[in-house]
């Protein structure tokens, strides 16, 4: 009896594998839904739409972008995590995916276990940007200033738990300095406060910081990513400028539900990186302060795993309240 059940189980598994393999071979055979768990018009939505417009052409299939904002991106992200793993429901999300587990307990999904990474679409490095009244003209001078005036230099940022907030917290932790943290209701109010001298520093996004740096209204000290920014190559990275080990960049990436067949992931990855390598696409992103990436699924998975652990450690060290 047990032997017959084992045979049935094995045959059933083989049949399922054959069906999935056949489905992957002719993928995509119907429209694809890409869920963006943020509002339309933001960086994540823009990246998703630029990419899916071209994927529609290369895959010869309709791709619908479905904005599902709310609950700090949790609702749309959970929808994808619990969707059928067949490549017809995908997720385009920002780096908040790796920050949320550090700030909220009892999440309805696990960013490492429940998703199959496809690729990072773009990087969005921040720029350490100061008001001209700040004497520091380099990261080394800025660190010296912070150590001479602990807690006296005000840093504006776009809300507790945002990527900008944690970028500043990571800088303080790595450089062993302390700033006066001033949260605002978004990146625009935080930038207005810096321009007006209400705060002295902001880790600005490229799109908001570069125009003011070019005009002389603000001073850029360094970029926060692992490499110099194509948009403002004269600025060193924070690590290059003396804060060894510091690295932070927001990103937008594409993922599928876990257990999506590898041939489907491979097809999506191949078509996506071809698009991201196009000069017109790279320039389009660059004008909006984003840098086309297109890494491998394995590299993207490693980034997610590393950042989840990094933010958990930082939140604990900084004493940030977990909800």
Report which secondary-structure segment, H or E, holds 117: strand 115-130
* Strand blocks (E) in the chain: 32-36, 63-67, 89-94, 115-130, 154-157, 180-183, 201-205, 219-223, 249-257, 291-292
User: What is the structure's pLDDT at 186?
Assistant: 82
At residue 266, does pLDDT exceed 90? yes
Residues 120, 150, single domain; the answer is: no
Does residue 173 lie within any of the structural domains?
yes
Which value, in Å, is the radius of gyration of the alpha carbons in the chain? 22
User: What is the structure's pLDDT at 23?
Assistant: 54
User: What is the structure's pLDDT at 131?
Assistant: 98
Does residue 296 lie within any of the structural domains?
yes
At residue 323, does pLDDT exceed 50? yes
Choice between 122 and 105, residue whose per-residue pLDDT is larger = 122
Residues 110, 35, single domain; the answer is: yes
At residue 15, does pLDDT exceed 70? no
- Residue 180: band (very low, low, confident or very high) from pLDDT cuts 50, 70, 90: very high
- Residue 261: band (very low, low, confident or very high) from pLDDT cuts 50, 70, 90: very high
We report the CATH number of the domain holding residue 257 as 3.40.190.150
Instruction: Give the end of a domain, one of 223, 242, 264.
Output: 223
Does residue 65 lie within any of the structural domains?
yes
User: What is the structure's pLDDT at 161?
Assistant: 80
Residues 129, 217, single domain; the answer is: yes
Question: Span 76-94, mean pLDDT?
Answer: 97
Query: Tens digits of per-residue pLDDT, 272-290?
Result: 999 999 999 999 999 888 9
Give the Cα separation of 205 and 250 in Å (integer): 9
We report the CATH number of the domain holding residue 210 as 3.40.190.10
- Residue 5: band (very low, low, confident or very high) from pLDDT cuts 50, 70, 90: very low
Residues 130, 120, single domain; the answer is: no
Query: Tens digits of per-residue pLDDT, 17-65?
Result: 444 444 567 999 999 999 999 888 888 999 999 999 999 999 999 999 9
Residues 114, 159, single domain; the answer is: no
Residue range(s) defining the domain that contains residue 197: 125-223
Q: State what percent of residues in the chain have pLDDT above 70.
A: 92
Residues 203, 182, single domain; the answer is: yes
Query: Tens digits of per-residue pLDDT, 305-322?
Result: 999 999 999 999 888 877
At residue 304, does pLDDT exceed 50? yes
CA-based nearest residue to 213, from 125, 130, 123? 130
Cβ count near 310 (within 10 Å)? 17
Q: Total structural domains in the chain?
A: 2
Does residue 201 lie within any of the structural domains?
yes
- Residue 12: band (very low, low, confident or very high) from pLDDT cuts 50, 70, 90: very low
Query: Tens digits of per-residue pLDDT, 191-239?
Result: 999 999 999 999 998 888 999 999 999 999 999 998 999 889 999 999 9
Residues 280, 197, single domain; the answer is: no
């Amino acid at each position: 009896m047990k032997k017959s059940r084992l045979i049935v189980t094995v045959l059933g598994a083989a049949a399922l594998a054959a069906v999935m393999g056949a489905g992957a071979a002719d993928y995509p055979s119907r429209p694809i839904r890409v869920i963006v768990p943020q509002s339309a018009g933001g960086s994540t939505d823009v990246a998703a739409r630029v990419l899916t417009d071209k994927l529609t052409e290369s895959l010869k299939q309709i791709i619908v972008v479905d904005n599902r904002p709310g609950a700090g991106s949790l609702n749309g992200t959970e929808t994808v995590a619990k969707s059928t793993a067949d490549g017809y429901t995908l997720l385009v999300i920002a780096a908040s995916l790796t920050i949320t587990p550090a700030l909220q307990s009892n999440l309805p999904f696990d960013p490492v276990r429940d998703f199959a990474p496809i690729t990072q679409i773009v990087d969005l490095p921040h720029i350490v940007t100061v008001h001209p009244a700040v004497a520091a003209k380099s990261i080394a001078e800025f660190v010296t200033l912070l150590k001479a005036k602990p807690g006296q230099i005000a840093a504006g940022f776009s809300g507790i738990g945002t990527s900008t907030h944690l970028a500043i917290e990571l800088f303080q932790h790595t450089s062993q300095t302390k700033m006066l943290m001033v949260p605002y209701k978004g990146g625009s109010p935080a930038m207005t406060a810096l321009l007006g001298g209400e705060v002295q520093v902001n880790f600005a996004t490229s799109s908001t910081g570069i125009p003011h740096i070019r005009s002389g209204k603000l001073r850029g000290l360094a970029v926060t990513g692992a490499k110099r920014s194509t948009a403002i190559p004269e600025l060193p990275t924070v690590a290059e400028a003396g804060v060894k080990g510091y690295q932070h960049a927001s990103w937008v990436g594409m993922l599928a539900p876990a257990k999506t067949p590898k041939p489907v992931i491979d097809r999506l990855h191949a078509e996506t990186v071809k698009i991201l390598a196009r000069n017109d696409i790279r320039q389009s992103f660059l004008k909006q302060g984003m840098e086309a990436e297109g890494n491998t699924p394995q590299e993207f998975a490693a980034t997610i795993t590393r950042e989840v652990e990094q933010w958990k450690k930082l939140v604990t060290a900084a004493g940030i309240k977990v909800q």
